[in-house]
Amino acid sequence: MPIMPRSIAAALAALALLSASAAAQQGGAQGPTNPRMLPDVSAVGDLVADLSPKGSTQPDLSRFAVREVEVALQAVVDPYFRGDVFLGFSDAEGASIEQAFLTTTALPGGLQARLGRFLMPFGKQNTTHRHDLHTVEYPYIIQRFFGSEGLKGTGATLSDVFAPFGFYQEFMVSVTDRAGERAEGLTPAAPANRNLDGLGYSARLRNYWDISEATNIEVSGSAITSLREQPLALPAGAASGDVNAVNVRQSVFAGDVTFRWRPLQQGLYKSLILQAEVMHQANDIPSVVPPLGRPGPGASAPPLAYAGPTSGYTGGYVFGRWQLSRRLYAGARYDALQDPEAEGARFTAGSALLEWYPSEFSKLIAQYERTSPSGGPALDRILLQASFAIGPHKPHPF
């Protein structure tokens, strides 16, 4: 996915030209506002500072970082599709295609298909861009199961909205090339997606009720399954490029509930969100592991030992946010999980934060967090985030 970092400047220059052209065509008094049908061009900057007392807790140990700049190009393609492209630029990954998808606009029966790369419709917070979260980072259960940037997929998703029982329901099914990022350095005997049963398959059912004019609740469930590369224990002297992984089925099941309160008349000043999400990761154990050797036929060395996960992991979080004034919010989150990065050892974290919106287009967060890994010392973290959006930024999903 990452492309050459030096392409960043060229890409930004092209986008600047596009933006300038879009601006230049404004001003026709009575004609269409976009006669050349140029796409909406917008950008989001996501800046993070880590002032933790015992040193930075960021992967690159930076105290101040531009975590990501995301540039979006969005437009209707034709009478049948709209197109959305999100390009991410970061010091860590260079430039990458964060999302790029076609969405159908003309399927019958309320069906909608999406083709391309997108945030997987799995769980609640995973469907929100990281810079749009109410916390600086994703909940730990998402970070540990899917990575710090959440779960994305490349493939297709089909969804339908219906209300046979008088309330809103949406069902989404997806098939993707794989579920989650490929683990670096793992080489299985064959790609996980060689057979169709190795692809990523997911489903999500959303259920939404208005409890009253001011309150509502959403209860949803998700599941995803695919083959994932899991490590094998290599004997000493194994060569680079040898088979060192085996494809094993991994499935994740999730349930989430979100309660919202926002009085209509005082909605500018008062609101409350309470949210909880639980996930369980189930890991199969391979009955047969491949022998040591290079991928392909003819390998005849003795089997290796399986070094991947041998049990399931469960975790979740609860989150709440209370609006203090028109621009200021206070929030807290508690995470608890069996950490897959520590063989299931208990990991907990509690955080409190203040979130300030100078406007709809800028946001500042100050967050204190205390993480408590089982058997390890607690760690205090102080994180600051500033994010901003320029251009015609689309509204955030409800």
Instruction: Scan residues 115-144 and list those touching other proteins (CB under 8 A).
Output: none
Q: Which residues contact 17 (CB under 8 A, 6 or more apart)?
A: none
CB atoms inside a 10 Å sphere around CB 78? 9
Residue closer to other proteins, measured from CB, 39 or 315? 39
Which residue reads 């990458």 in tokens?
96
Tell me the CA end-to-end span of the chain in Å, nearest whole number. Answer: 29
Q: Is 156 helix (H, G, I), strand (E, B) or coil?
A: strand
Question: Does 2 contact other proteins by CB under 8 A?
Answer: no
Question: Does 356 contact other proteins by CB under 8 A?
Answer: no
Q: Tell me, what amino acid is at 10?
A: A
Residue from 168, 171, 253, 334 binding other proteins (CB under 8 A): 168
Part in contact with other proteins (CB under 8 A); list of ranges 139-147, 166-174, 300-308, 344-352: 166-174
Q: Tell me, what amino acid is at 287?
A: S
In the stretch 253-282, what mask flags binding to other proteins with x, by CB under 8 A?
Answer: -------x-x-xxxxxx-------------
Part in contact with other proteins (CB under 8 A); list of ranges 12-20, 101-109, 278-286, 310-318: 101-109
In the stretch 298-337, what mask flags binding to other proteins with x, by CB under 8 A?
Answer: ----------------------------xx----------
What values do phi and psi take at 40, rounded to 5?
-65, 130
Residue closer to other proteins, measured from CB, 64 or 80? 80
Part in contact with other proteins (CB under 8 A); list of ranges 65-73, 102-110, 138-146, 308-316: 102-110
Closest listed residue to residue 69, CA positions, set 126, 115, 9: 9
Residue closer to other proteins, measured from CB, 178 or 206? 206
Q: What string of DSSP letters covers 327-352?
A: SEEEEEEEEEEEEGGGTTEEEEEEEE
- The continuous run of DSSP H or E covering 301 comes out as none
Beta bridge partners of 316: 278, 336
Beta bridge partners of 337: 315, 347
> And the tokens for 160?
């339908």
Part in contact with other proteins (CB under 8 A); list of ranges 147-155, 233-241, 331-339, 389-397: 389-397
> And the tokens for 185?
């350095």
Q: Which residues contact 124 (CB under 8 A, 6 or more apart)?
A: 218, 220, 256, 258, 275, 277
> And the tokens for 83?
């197109």
Minimum distance between the CB of residue 362 and other proteins, rounded to whole angstroms? 9
Part in contact with other proteins (CB under 8 A); list of ranges 65-73, 188-196, 292-300, 357-365: 357-365
Minimum distance between the CB of residue 195 and other proteins, rounded to whole angstroms? 21
Q: Give CA–CA dist 343/279, Å, rounded.
A: 16
Contact 326, 320 (CB under 8 A): no
Closest listed residue to residue 316, CA positions, set 151, 149, 124: 124
Residue closer to other proteins, measured from CB, 195 or 266? 266
Residue from 62, 96, 112, 187 binding other proteins (CB under 8 A): 112
Part in contact with other proteins (CB under 8 A); list of ranges 65-73, 126-134, 207-215, 314-322: 207-215
In the stretch 22-61, what mask flags binding to other proteins with x, by CB under 8 A?
Answer: -----------x----------------------------
Question: Does 161 contact other proteins by CB under 8 A?
Answer: yes
> And the tokens for 46?
């996501």
Q: Is 282 helix (H, G, I), strand (E, B) or coil?
A: strand
User: Site for other proteins (CB under 8 A): how many residues?
Assistant: 38
Closest listed residue to residue 307, CA positions, set 337, 343, 338: 343
Residue from 98, 137, 170, 277 binding other proteins (CB under 8 A): 170
Binding stretches for other proteins (CB under 8 A): 33, 79, 105-112, 161, 163, 167-168, 170, 206, 208, 210, 213, 216, 218, 260, 262, 264-269, 326-327, 359-361, 394-395, 397-398
